[in-house]
Amino acid sequence: MDTRLAVRARAGLATMTAVTAVLYLIELVNMATFGLLTRMFGIRPRDVSSLPDVLTSPLVHDSTSWAHLLANTLPLFVFGFLAFLAGLRHFLTAVVLSWFGSGLGVWMFGSLLGRPSITVGASGVIFGLFGFLLVRGFFNRSWGQILLALVLFAVYGGVLLGILPTVGSGISWQAHLFGLAGGVAAAIVLRPRGRAAA
């Protein structure tokens, strides 16, 4: 069991390092082209031609500075690594449901309470991974996972305010809210089956 966890830890570190490198390379291109990738691959709410951008928008960040990507880097790396420790299937399920939940939520409900905008960034996926890590222990009935959730909540719990419409201008609360919902959905989908109630 320890060996398997060590293998997952190495794979998780390698995966999240590669993901981080790709995001920084994309940001470099986006800044060099003065936001071309944002305009091409960001989500424009309720624009049918922008629906495919649900697939690409988490890979692109604000082209005016590194601040957006820098703010997302550590939580994405930490949450992604911790989710990977559960296994590749759990990691991919959490990422995919968070990714699509966030993107579709933005496409349907983005800009409803503000001016039209283009949404980019990995924060929806981050919220989804966070939600997955917070609730999976309760579905799995794992005290270790519940303890980890409590530690994560103590350290990062304040970010949950980001699901509120009052979070601030330039921040997509829709991406956060629906990404979080996708992560919780992943925990439900991956819960153990056929276990008698305690």
Active site residues: 123, 176
Q: Which residues contact 173 (CB under 8 A, 6 or more apart)?
A: 162, 163, 164, 165, 167
d(CA 44, CA 92): 26
d(CA 34, CA 44): 18
Say if CB 49 and CB 31 are below 8 A apart.
Answer: no
Nearest C-alpha neighbor of 9 from the set 76, 102, 68, 78? 78
Structural tokens at position 50: 């922008």
Structural tokens at position 14: 């390698």
Structural tokens at position 19: 């993901």
Query: 44: number of CA atoms within 13 Å, CB side?
Result: 8
